[in-house]
Structure 1
Amino acid sequence: MAPQTAPARQNLPLDSDSFVGRERDLSDLLRLLDADRVVTLCGVNGIGKTRLALRVAAHATGSFPDGVWLVELAQARGRDEAVARIAAAVGVAEEAGRDLEYTLRDALARRRLLLVLDGCGPVLDLLPDICHRLLADCPSVSLLITAEEPVRLEGEAIWRVPPLSPPPREKERDPTSSEAVRLFVDRARAASPGFCADSDDLRVVADICGAVDSIPYCVELVASWVRRIPLPEIAAEIRARVGELYSRHTGAADRARLMTEVIRWSYERIGLRERILLRRLAVFADWDLELAERVCPDGPLPEAEILDLLSALAGRSLITLNGEAQGRVRYRFPAVVRRFMAHRLAEAGEEEAFRLRHREQMVLIAEDLGRSAVLGRAVPWAQRFASWTRVVTEYDNIREALHWSAERGDAEAGLRLCIGLSPFWVTGSRFIEGGVWSDRFLELPGAAEGLRGRAMVRRAELARAEGDRRYASEIGEAGLQRCRAAGDTESLIMGQNLLAMVDVREHADDRAHERLTEVLELSRKTGDLWNEAVALGTQGMLATRCGDFDRADVHYSTSMMILRGMDHRWGVGAMLIGQGIAAEARGDLAGADRCYRESLDIQRDFGSAAELARCLAGVGRIAHALGATTQAFDYLSESLSLSHSAGLRRAVASALASIAKVAAGEGMVEGACRLGGAAAAIREETGPATATRSWPLKGTGCDGEPAALSQWWDEGFAMGVDDAAALALHITETGRVPRPRPSRTTRTASPEQTLTRREHEIARLVGEGRSNRAIAEQLFITPATVARHVANINRKTGFSSRKQIAAWLNDHKASR
């Protein structure tokens, strides 16, 4: 079966430790979430908002058939980035030539899902408008928000997250009736497995929990010290620290200041090297051991001690484990701790130095991707892919480096980041974000002209991916001038390659040919295998459009021979799509099927939603041409579902059009016309309309009243994307239901009555025992065309073998 890309229904992290208490809060919040579309958990950082929200979301998954999605906004800077993080969480991609926010709202318009917007403080002033528009356009979307203050949305249900239940005031009552005491004991046992609290110890624990106002993070932080400090000493020190923070009149504490004091107490308790490392780690959004070892060591902090110090800090709950990526454990700060450590870093006069170190590591990671993506020699694919994955893992850190460089006006560092990130932005469908960053740094003074030229060439690549061919040509030509002047042959070759692709789209074939001739000459002279392969692929595209399929096949095959030799799987996947399109155009169905399927395997592992959808649609079209209707519906419906969930309207239109053709061939004329009209409407909205009113019925043998056909088409044209997708999926489900084969009485109809003239001719040759190749040679058509006709004959007659066709023909010969 084709479907393999059914989206996951949640992205919630696994709990790293046990969840203690909050049973009543949990049940009340679940009821509140059923009644209100927006629920905001408010309170100081450390009060447990995130843990509670994640637990509520995990229990609510059954109420949201389209999923529960965590969106981490603690590192977000600005509206566009906040929207991009929401889109990434739900799998919505950037759409060429369109604001991502509109794409996001359209994609979620019919989905019933829960967005968990966590850590909204940095974008709290922007969130009301983003959420208001989202809720207005997406009536089945609900929001569970965590922030220090309410978002102030209409209809927002505000839940002030309280501390854990406090210790009982009566000494005779069991202290473990308190959630705070139970949490302390649980975390103390994690820190010291031999910890065992008797009744006296529990009273001390209750005293400590009361002193920190039963704030969960404060309880965890203090409990982590039981292995090093006796409980009575902890209690005395904490009381001395926080006593003055409680009001003499109300008895209430200033919880934000209390949190800071408990963190300060723990910070002052750790060793000098731990303190140095801790404050320097504040430059990271999150990190692994390798990054910490490259950025943080200096002076009294040797690199060899970083691992042990990280383990000790995690044991103190000052840093937390954040999963694993590429076989490396990731760490992060609780938000309140990172804020505290950032102040300590500034006080130590180290902020600029270590932010520079952090940025340099991000530049190296980005440039490693930039090199490996187009490195024109044999490199194991795993090594190339690891560079791409590393950028994905470090993207929060890279964004921080981009922001810091922009704030400082560091054009050179910013452009180096943009140049290196260009392959990630293009292949990851982040071309709009990449274009914004590139433009921002290109506007700054201070960078060398050669570096600007390289950045302009990469900016042209982003513009081409975005569909802005005019700007791609404009900035690409300006970049080429600077690259020629600087003697940057590598960027010159790359620029000419991508501008040749633009020329092909603009039907400037002569100019494209001139560029490609120069690219091939320079790339072969310099040994640039990647750009040679890309240029050959573009020549294949040109040849396909001119109808010279033999030459196109030679170009694509040569390109893939180079790419396979380099072990460049992504490049092979891209060329296979082009070769598949050429084979399909020439009627080589077997060749096209092989290309699309091989590329499909590659795209499932790596490719963007757009490329994966193209491969699925290609396999589906070929299956239909070969008469495998059920398989065609399988692949086309998967392509449609993927495109629709990602917000890719042009890919949706393509899938709708292909499903319409299959449906028309199966006699579902009304549905086919509606889907054809819907596809035409989407294409008209997203670009020049290419569909005509009659195309779904061409070659299907289906008849209908012209007025009815026109009415159905118009009804489809008026459909929204969601309704059209739902109709198409219904048609594919209906089409998959096995239909009864025609009864044997069908054989009473003559071949001349049942088949078209060409099908009858082919059936006669099949009856003579000819192979597909022999039939193709006699009739001057391709073997794939013969196979398609044989499949149509079987479908019309209900047969499943060539012997049945031969017997049917012989029966009618004998009866004459």
Structure 2
Amino acid sequence: MYSPQAANHNLPVEPNRFIGRARDVEELCALFADERVVTLCGVGGIGKTRLALRVAERLVHRFPGGVRLVELARLTRADLVAKELAGVLGVREEGARPLADGLIENLRGARTLLVLDNCEHLVEACAELVARLVASCPDLRVLVTSREPLRIPQELIWRVPPLDLPDARRPDAESVLLFMERATAAGIRISLDVLPDVADLCVALDGLPLALELAAARTKVLSPRQIIDRIGDRFTLLTSGDRTAPARHRTLLATVQWSHDLLEEKEKALLHRLSVFPGDFDLAFAEQVCHDRHLLQHEVLDLLSGLVDKSLVIGEGERFRLLATIRQFAAERLAEAGESDRFAERHLREVLAVQARGLRVTFEEQRMERPDRLEAFQRASALVDDSRAALDWAIRAGDARAGIELCLIAAAPLAVAGDAAETADWLGLLLAMDVSAVDPSDLLMAKSFIAYGLEARDELRQARELAVEGVEGLRAGAYHFRLGVVYAIAVRVLLRLGEREASRRWLEELIERARAHADRFTLAAALLYRSTLALADSRLREAQRHVEEALRAAREHGHPWIIAQVSLQLGVLAEARGDLEAALGHLAAAVPLNEELDNRAELARVLSRSGRVAGQLGDFAAARRHLARSLALAKGTGQRLTIAHCLSALSVLAEKEGDLEGAVLTAAAVQRLRESVGQPASRARTDELMARARAELGDGRAAAMWAKGGELSPEEAAGRVLEQEHVSAVDPPPVRRRTVLTAREQEIASLLMRGLSNRAIGEELVISPATVARHIANIMDKLGFTSRAQIAVWAAEHDLGSA
């Protein structure tokens, strides 16, 4: 089960024993008492990453907000830096809001250490992002590894030195210890009589950790003296080749070149081809991409094992990866052989094949077991970096057809993961190319998927134009799953624009076609839209029928995402009916499904509503648990509206527990947050709360609390309620469904059943029409309704007319 407190860091387990650098570690740890940004600079292979990870592990206890590692070596575009950090932190894009704002929301207020590893190829983007984050988040610290500094004002540059070299006074220097340790790990025991040769080797390699590890891996077949002899020849060759390169860089290149030259020809070929993978990969992927008639598929396993033994490939369980330095070297050799394009194309085709299978198994196949759906979804999600690299290659190669195909087949799992906007960005780049070879139907579908990304950014008018063009251009063709997605995108955009009739027309057409073709996933999603429309029109019984039909289709399909969505809608409807116990049960069912998918944004929304319902039931402890977890998730994913919903529920909770000051403080924070988002809430409940506060606390005290709450951050306001275990003077009365509303609100709800206007209700109850309006707004806020008609239906179902 996912828990935001499950771990305070995402640092990997050390693959082997850390040797030396005790002084470096101590000095770096001490620096973070005062410094905001520390950049470890040095050539590739000098041990920047390993040193950074060691320092970060030592500092975990000093950063209650967590220590987070962000690996950047595999990224190819500057605009992906913020996205990668967002992925590590769990931040999602929110409408048109810049992603950096969500990152700031996540990092502000908690003492956090970020470790940005391998920044050199994206140094400008990293510098800009780090400077902004540090300026906005006073408690943030950043540890960077790069071959060159960020060159920002807050940065302290720390040059990583080589390991200590042996001399007469200290024959057991750090470099010697590292070489001996790694040789022993390789199964070789170095005898004392060759220690002078080991010392000479460490000096020859300038104490570079990567060079020493590569050399130690060769002790299975070469003695330290033989290694020295071979390295000496290679140093001379490379030094004379490029006199402008730094000395240590030449040494490292010599070391890598030497290690490479000792490989068998087929090992070299495989190493070169593995450079097409931007991150980690598994055996099956390597077998499919890297084989040809010269290197057979069944040979890949043994060759890959040999590369792992020689420390040129790192094996981590069933996954493998190349160090950035080795990958760069191998990519250069692949280019020299004139094979870069061929294997980049092979990589693209294999990514297409795996993602196509993921789309088919995850969504298109019917009546499949949920574990199979989940496995396919996770497999497809694991290819995000490979999909990016493949798309990047398609654009560079001018292959718009393959790029668009990949976007279309990968868009569904990416959308579930919250990456619709990125898919739209890729499609925008591809559609700007020569698309004469692309099928016209794929072009229309691409425009529809761009509309989904625009809708996610609240660019609704442009989204509508593309979505309508997609449906009208494709609806006459044969039905398939992605056509159902095109319909669903158009329905969603039109609903958000308030075009009910057009959305309803296409929704009914979608339901008919999905049912005719047994597309249960799309049918369930469409029935959810139908239920939402019925609820908005206050047709609760009809909304319930549609969601129950959606549940049957979702269960038959088996994907946890659609089942979770249906469970949430069941909870919404149960709450609208006043059946709070049932609402809580449905919401609870959605929680493990979202956890299974690691869908933190949706989980935050479910828990927020769960907290509100639990509070209405008088279970204040459960309400606190749900809302505290929702707040942590919403903050982590940058969802300001979900944070506002949580704060609103906490304000009601505080008032019910008799903590009137906490209720006022939190309500003020809610209003400020909603205004900043551009979605102010109804003031009905706020006006009532402030009237009570003025009566019980006095005008001055109430005004002071409101002003103070408006200055609090969401975290401070929430903490005021969550951390105060208030005990009421009397036990809360048993909660009945009808007592969701006050006595006066029940009276007004019953009069709405008769269709009375605000003025007529005011005359009957001897109150002003404005007061009636405030009561109606408060009823809507409590029940989650949007119209007077919904209140009337609810009142009829609860027999308020006889109250």
TM-score, length-scaled by structure 2? 0.87
For 2:690 and 2:598, the matched residues in 1 are separated by 34
Aligned to 1:266: 259
Aligned to 1:650: 641
Match of 1:79, SS state, is coil
Alignment pair present for 1:210 and 2:216? no
Aligned to 1:771: none
Q: 1:287 corresponds to which letter in structure 2?
A: F
Q: Give structure 1 regions of 4+ aligned residues with deviation exceeding 6 angstroms.
A: 244-247, 698-702, 755-759, 779-785
Matches within 5 A, 1:750-765: none
Aligned to 1:807: none
- C-alpha contact (below 8 Å) 1:422/1:462 kept by paired residues: no
For 1:552 and 1:299, the matched residues in 2 are separated by 60
Alignment pair present for 1:288 and 2:282? yes
Match of 1:111, SS state, is coil
Q: CA deviation at 1:243?
A: 4.9
1:150-209 Cα offsets, whole Å, 9 max, x none, are 2112142211111111121x3xx563x2111111111111112xx222222111111111
Q: 1:604 aligns with which of 595, 614, 619?
A: 595
Q: CA deviation at 1:317?
A: 0.8
1:10-41 Cα offsets, whole Å, 9 max, x none, are 11111111111111111111112223111111
Aligned to 1:83: 82
- C-alpha contact (below 8 Å) 1:367/1:416 kept by paired residues: no
Match of 2:116, SS state, is strand
For 1:60 and 1:5, the matched residues in 2 are separated by 19
Q: CA deviation at 1:71?
A: 0.9
Q: CA deviation at 1:283?
A: 0.5
For 1:186 and 1:205, the matched residues in 2 are separated by 12
Aligned to 2:715: 725
Q: 2:360 aligns with which of 368, 371, 375?
A: 371
- C-alpha contact (below 8 Å) 2:65/2:110 kept by paired residues: yes
Alignment pair present for 1:188 and 2:180? no
Alignment pair present for 1:224 and 2:213? no
Q: 1:313 aligns with which of 292, 307, 310?
A: 307
Structure 1, unmatched stretches of 5+, are 747-754, 760-778, 790-816
Match of 2:456, SS state, is helix
User: Per the alignment, do residues 64 and 437 of structure 1 end up closer, same or farther by CA in structure 2, a change over 3 Å counting?
Assistant: same
Alignment pair present for 1:402 and 2:391? yes
- C-alpha contact (below 8 Å) 1:449/1:482 kept by paired residues: no
Q: CA deviation at 1:706?
A: 8.3
Q: 2:413 corresponds to which letter in structure 1?
A: F
For 1:733 and 1:93, the matched residues in 2 are separated by 28
Match of 1:157, SS state, is strand
Aligned to 2:571: 580
User: Per the alignment, do residues 331 and 20 of structure 1 end up closer, same or farther by CA in structure 2, a change over 3 Å counting?
Assistant: same
Match of 1:52, SS state, is helix
Aligned to 1:813: none
For 1:591 and 1:716, the matched residues in 2 are separated by 38
Aligned to 2:548: 557
1:586-643 Cα offsets, whole Å, 9 max, x none, are 1111221111110112112215222111111222122111111222122122212221
Q: What is the RMSD computed on CA atoms of the aligned residues? A: 2.9
For 2:164 and 2:434, the matched residues in 1 are separated by 57
For 1:357 and 1:414, the matched residues in 2 are separated by 14
Q: 2:52 corresponds to which letter in structure 1?
A: A
Alignment pair present for 1:257 and 2:250? yes
Alignment pair present for 1:668 and 2:690? no
Q: 2:461 corresponds to which letter in structure 1?
A: R
For 1:314 and 1:617, the matched residues in 2 are separated by 47
Calculate percent identity across the aligned residue pairs.
32
Aligned to 2:136: 137
Aligned to 2:767: none
User: Per the alignment, do residues 377 and 309 of structure 1 end up closer, same or farther by CA in structure 2, a change over 3 Å counting?
Assistant: same
Q: 2:656 corresponds to which letter in structure 1?
A: G
- C-alpha contact (below 8 Å) 2:364/2:481 kept by paired residues: no
User: Per the alignment, do residues 501 and 151 of structure 1 end up closer, same or farther by CA in structure 2, a change over 3 Å counting?
Assistant: closer
Match of 1:21, SS state, is coil
Aligned to 2:738: none
Match of 2:38, SS state, is strand
Structure 2, unmatched stretches of 5+, are 734-741, 747-793
Q: 1:731 corresponds to which letter in structure 2?
A: V
Aligned to 1:767: none
Aligned to 2:535: 544
For 2:609 and 2:50, the matched residues in 1 are separated by 45
- C-alpha contact (below 8 Å) 2:60/2:67 kept by paired residues: yes
Match of 1:62, SS state, is helix
For 1:615 and 1:390, the matched residues in 2 are separated by 26
Matches within 5 A, 1:26-175: 26-168=25-167, 170=168, 175=171
User: Per the alignment, do residues 4 and 741 of structure 1 end up closer, same or farther by CA in structure 2, a change over 3 Å counting?
Assistant: farther
Q: 2:293 corresponds to which letter in structure 1?
A: G
For 2:557 and 2:239, the matched residues in 1 are separated by 68
Q: 1:362 aligns with which of 351, 364, 369?
A: 351
Q: How many residues in Structure 1 have an aligned counterpart in Structure 2?
A: 739
User: Per the alignment, do residues 563 and 188 of structure 1 end up closer, same or farther by CA in structure 2, a change over 3 Å counting?
Assistant: same
Match of 1:139, SS state, is coil
User: Per the alignment, do residues 713 and 648 of structure 1 end up closer, same or farther by CA in structure 2, a change over 3 Å counting?
Assistant: farther
The farther-off stretch of 390-399 and 563-572 is 390-399
Q: CA deviation at 1:98?
A: 0.6
For 2:258 and 2:525, the matched residues in 1 are separated by 60
User: Per the alignment, do residues 245 and 484 of structure 1 end up closer, same or farther by CA in structure 2, a change over 3 Å counting?
Assistant: closer
For 2:669 and 2:473, the matched residues in 1 are separated by 46
Q: 1:725 corresponds to which letter in structure 2?
A: E
User: Per the alignment, do residues 600 and 480 of structure 1 end up closer, same or farther by CA in structure 2, a change over 3 Å counting?
Assistant: same
For 1:58 and 1:10, the matched residues in 2 are separated by 8
Q: CA deviation at 1:710?
A: 6.9
Q: CA deviation at 1:540?
A: 0.7
The farther-off stretch of 443-452 and 13-22 is 443-452
TM-score, length-scaled by structure 1? 0.85
